[in-house]
Amino acid sequence: MSFIIRQFRKVALCATLLAAASGCQDFLEEDNRSNLTQDNYFANATQAQAAVDGLYNRLRLLNASTGYGEEVWVGLELMALHATTLGQSFNNNQLINQSIDPANPYFSSVWNNAYNGIGAANLAIARIPAVTMDESRKTALLGEALFIRAFLYYHLVRLYGDVPLITLPVNATSPDLYPVRASQQEVYNLIISDLQAAEAAGLPAVDRTGRVSLGAVKSLLASVYLTTAGYPLQIKANYQLAANKAAEVIDAGSYPLFANYASLHNNADKNQGEFILQAQYGFGITTNAISALVIPYFVGISKYNDEFGAVIPTPGFYATHEPGDLRAQEQQFYFSKYASIKTPGQTVNFGAQALYKYFHVESALGNGVNDENWTLLRMPEVMLIYAEAINEASAATPKAYAQINAIRSRAKLPALSGLSQAQFREAVWKERYHELAYENKAYFDIQRTRKTYDVVGNRFVDVVGFKAEVGPAFQEKYLLWGIPSAEINNNKQLTQNPGW
């Protein structure tokens, strides 16, 4: 597992993407780089700051490209049963057809990038305490590092199940160089412990520059509690903990819902309003293909070099929106046509609904280089976590109805009332599918509930064995990803997940 051993390098993001960072400069400029080691790097506050700044690129875990028309977030949506692809990706079609194997680059991308990030976080967490610097700033930096480690482990444990649990720096002689898999319970214990420590680290209540805030910590912790209340751990008491933590974010009132859905994908509203945490992008520093991936295959409506058609909503899922749902109207969450970039005055009809939710107008019609942020946490998710969790812990309260109805009100839908516990549960699940559509929440919801949205019957059914609009009946083994073949081959102490 040599991916754990981190090579220090210049942090490119610095002031442009993380405006709150202090002392942002070429922090290696005065050092003899050939003499840098894990032990001597953390010599001062500037180096401690730079090391934590460098962790923020790990929040782009789901935006990693694995091939033409492929990014990890796309793969997750194709496994959630309500998307297809109109592009040419072999691996994307393998995901849809459930014919993928553990050697697939999707699986190795997340594994390697997450553990590389964990290795860097472990080093910062181990070395920063000894740095002579302002103590409050030191504690806050450690809180940020702990949050990012928790974020990475949270994705690993949900995707792969039992995974190696590494919390200390690793070198070529470390016993953790070839680790065994730890139980999911052990991994979640670390995630929760890290987030609780981050919660007490004196982070700002809100941050509008892209850094981790107290609001982000509480929101992720609420998500973790909700997940552990479901499958496979089924710690039912954690429903109440999820509700409590989500309520703290709600009661703070720091993340108001946007008035317009366009704010979800424009540059002016990055890190603002309902955004709790986003992975940061900026033209001239680091960019992405998110917008190009959602445009149907080469329809000619943008200045991007490619229009991939990588992830397209299925017609059946789109049809499940209630009559009058603003999100389903043209150029809200979806669009079915757009002006041609090649032929002025001509409108291109797609023949399908594409994701306007990610269409980045500035770059599509501008320089053709996309720098929209990728959203990790936003307020509607926290509101729906509260509603679902309190309903499971006791019953739907007026506050729970207020959360789901605020989201529905923005979508121009009538308020809900008087539902049974089972009816309210499914109402929240449907709202998650519609409000958080294609934000990498659905597959994780399938894992924790073992249910999926039957769009024909407009109901929730057991996912294993269910035949959705695309692909074969869902196989049980796809509740987890396969451990990458290369890791199994390199570390004989690793075991493979069932069915892989």
CATH code, domain carrying 68: 1.25.40.390
- Examine the domain organization and report whether 185 and 294 are in the same domain: no
Is position 308 within any domain?
yes
Report residue 4 as tokens.
């754990």
What is the CB-side half-sphere exposure of residue 365 using CA atoms within 13 A? 9
- Examine the domain organization and report whether 188 and 300 are in the same domain: no
Report residue 452 as tokens.
């999926």
Q: End of a domain among 357, 372, 387? A: 372
Q: In this structure, are residues 303 and 341 in contact, taking their beta carbons and an 8 Å threshold?
A: yes
- Examine the domain organization and report whether 176 and 49 are in the same domain: yes
- Examine the domain organization and report whether 42 and 128 are in the same domain: yes
Q: What are phi and psi of 37, to 5 degrees?
A: -135, 170
Helix axes 135-160, 45-53, angle to 10 degrees: 30
Max alpha carbon distance in the chain (Å)? 69
Alpha helices in 253-324 (DSSP H): 290-294, 315-318
Q: What are phi and psi of 65, to 5 degrees?
A: -90, 140
The count of domains in the chain is 2
Q: What are phi and psi of 452, to 5 degrees?
A: -135, 165
- Examine the domain organization and report whether 50 and 139 are in the same domain: yes
Is position 465 within any domain?
no
Q: What are phi and psi of 282, to 5 degrees?
A: -155, 135
Q: Tell me the one-letter amino acid at 405.
A: N
Is position 157 within any domain?
yes
Is position 213 within any domain?
no
Q: End of a domain among 372, 393, 416? A: 372
Is position 296 within any domain?
yes
Confidence at residue 176, expressed as pLDDT on a 0 to 100 scale = 83
Answering whether pTM is above 0.75, one says: yes
Q: What range does the domain containing 105 cover?
A: 2-203+482-490
Q: Is 319 helix (H, G, I), strand (E, B) or coil?
A: coil
Q: Is 176 helix (H, G, I), strand (E, B) or coil?
A: helix
Q: How far apart are CA 418 and CA 402, in angstroms?
A: 13
- Examine the domain organization and report whether 198 and 286 are in the same domain: no
Is position 43 within any domain?
yes
Q: How far apart are CA 441 and CA 6, in angstroms?
A: 30
Q: Is 306 helix (H, G, I), strand (E, B) or coil?
A: coil
Q: How far apart are CA 222 and CA 231, in angstroms?
A: 16
Report residue 250 as tokens.
């709600």
Q: How far apart are CA 134 and CA 46, in angstroms?
A: 11
Percent of the chain that is helix, strand, coil (3-state, to 5): 45, 10, 45
Q: How far apart are CA 11 and CA 17, in angstroms?
A: 11
Q: Is 313 helix (H, G, I), strand (E, B) or coil?
A: strand
Cα separations (Å) of 19 from 155, 207, 211, 353, 373? 27, 10, 9, 37, 15
- Examine the domain organization and report whether 64 and 182 are in the same domain: yes
Helix, strand counts (H, E) of the chain:
17, 10
Q: In this structure, are residues 301 and 341 in contact, taking their beta carbons and an 8 Å threshold?
A: yes
How far is C-alpha 9 from the chain's CA centre?
25
Confidence at residue 35, expressed as pLDDT on a 0 to 100 scale = 56
Q: Tell me the one-letter amino acid at 36.
A: L
pLDDT tens digits along 451-488: 999 999 999 999 999 999 999 999 999 999 999 999 99
Q: How far apart are CA 58 and CA 470, in angstroms?
A: 32
Q: End of a domain among 356, 372, 388? A: 372
Confidence at residue 388, expressed as pLDDT on a 0 to 100 scale = 98
Cα separations (Å) of 130 from 41, 138, 165, 369, 394? 12, 10, 24, 42, 46
Helix axes 45-53, 105-127, angle to 10 degrees: 160
Low-confidence residues in the chain, pLDDT < 50: 1-34
Other Cβ atoms within 10 Å of 480 Cβ, number: 19
- Examine the domain organization and report whether 178 and 290 are in the same domain: no
Under DSSP, the state recorded for 34 is G
The kind and range of the H/E element at 166 are: none
Is position 75 within any domain?
yes
Confidence at residue 27, expressed as pLDDT on a 0 to 100 scale = 24
- Examine the domain organization and report whether 154 and 302 are in the same domain: no
- Examine the domain organization and report whether 17 and 138 are in the same domain: yes
Confidence at residue 171, expressed as pLDDT on a 0 to 100 scale = 85
Is position 448 within any domain?
no
Q: Are strands 275-279 and 374-378 parallel, antiparallel or unpaired?
A: antiparallel
- Examine the domain organization and report whether 76 and 199 are in the same domain: yes
How far is C-alpha 477 from the chain's CA centre?
22
- Examine the domain organization and report whether 176 and 88 are in the same domain: yes
pLDDT tens digits along 364-401: 999 999 999 999 999 999 999 999 999 999 999 999 99
